[in-house]
């Protein structure tokens, strides 16, 4: 299994790159996060990968970190979601946005993914809703314990985000406000209601 590639970036076309590793060129279909952080051609690049093996083909998919690769594998576990479809989702949405899509139908309105309509999102949500926060907490940077608390905090943040969006705030603005609220209350175990109240209070001060 090819789990990581490190070599010179030969080409970068749309969502596919070619990496020269020891004279062998590997074609890798990459996520949006990888694409946005790629260096200029000729520079060294390192990509976490997943090799999808089919009877008539081998396809490499590349990710920015292990968290992205896990959500990719989790998406593929849903009936009717192929590797290509999972890759399409990751080329249009970040890990955090995918968590939002799975946890709330209202979040879908702010993200357009070709070939992924409301019914398919609902199917993915039903299949992964109980699993998605486990990944989010397990891969939270720098945190080695208290995963249940992380899961609760992440759920509260997403619920508050959806509440602000339902009130008419744009997703980017709502995320920025919540980030500032959480930064101001770092270390506090805020409930969904707490985050919403503090966010509205923050807005009133702007």
Q: How far apart are CA 12 and CA 17, in angstroms?
A: 4
Within a 13 Å sphere around the CA of 63, how many CA atoms are in the beta-carbon half? 23
Point out the domain boundary residue: 84, 117, 135: 135
12 and 22 belong to one structural domain: yes
pLDDT digits (tens, 9 = 90+) for 75-109: 999 988 999 999 999 998 887 778 777 776 555 55
72 and 97 belong to one structural domain: yes
Element (H, E) at 18: strand 16-21
Identify each DSSP E strand in 31-131 by its residue range: 44-53, 58-63
pLDDT attached to residue 146: 41
Q: How far apart are CA 93 and CA 91, in angstroms?
A: 6
21 and 43 belong to one structural domain: yes
Please state the pTM of the whole predicted model.
Answer: 0.63
Point out the domain boundary residue: 135, 167, 182: 135
Q: Is the dihedral of CA 3, 93, 73, 24 positive or negative?
A: negative
Q: How many domains does the chain have?
A: 3
Asked if 3 contacts 49 with a C-beta cutoff of 8 angstroms, the reply is yes
DSSP 8-state symbol, 65: S
pLDDT digits (tens, 9 = 90+) for 106-140: 555 556 788 888 788 888 888 887 777 666 555 55
pLDDT attached to residue 152: 55
79 and 120 belong to one structural domain: yes
The domain containing residue 111 runs over which residues? 66-135
The contacts of residue 143 (CB under 8 Å, 6+ apart) are: 137, 150
Using 50, 70 and 90 to split pLDDT, how confident is the model at 43?
A: very high
Angle at 101 (CA atoms; ends 74, 16), nearest 5 degrees: 60
Point out the domain boundary residue: 74, 103, 135: 135
106 and 164 belong to one structural domain: no
167 and 186 belong to one structural domain: yes
Name residue, tokens 């249009």: 92
Using 50, 70 and 90 to split pLDDT, how confident is the model at 142?
A: very low
88 and 33 belong to one structural domain: no
81 and 45 belong to one structural domain: no
CATH code where residue 83 lies: 1.10.150.20
């Amino acid at each position: 299994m090819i789990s990581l590639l490190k070599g010179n970036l030969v080409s970068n076309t749309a969502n596919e790159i070619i990496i020269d590793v020891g004279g062998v060129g590997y074609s890798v279909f990459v996520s949006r996060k990888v694409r946005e952080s790629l260096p200029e051609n000729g520079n060294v690049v390192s990509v976490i990968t997943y090799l999808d093996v089919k009877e008539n083909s081998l396809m490499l998919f590349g990710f920015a970190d292990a968290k992205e690769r896990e959500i990719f594998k989790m998406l593929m576990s849903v009936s009717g979601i192929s590797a290509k479809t999972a890759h399409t989702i990751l080329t249009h949405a970040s890990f955090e946005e995918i968590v939002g899509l799975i946890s709330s139908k209202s979040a879908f309105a702010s993200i357009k993914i070709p070939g992924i309509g409301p019914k398919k999102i609902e199917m993915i949500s039903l299949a992964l809703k109980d699993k998605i926060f486990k990944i989010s907490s397990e891969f939270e940077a720098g945190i080695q314990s208290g995963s249940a608390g992380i899961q609760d905090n992440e759920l509260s943040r997403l619920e508050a985000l959806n509440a602000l969006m339902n009130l008419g705030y744009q997703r980017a603005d709502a995320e920025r406000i919540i980030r500032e609220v959480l930064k101001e209350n770092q270390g506090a175990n805020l409930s969904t209601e707490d985050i919403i109240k503090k966010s509205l209070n923050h807005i009133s001060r702007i």
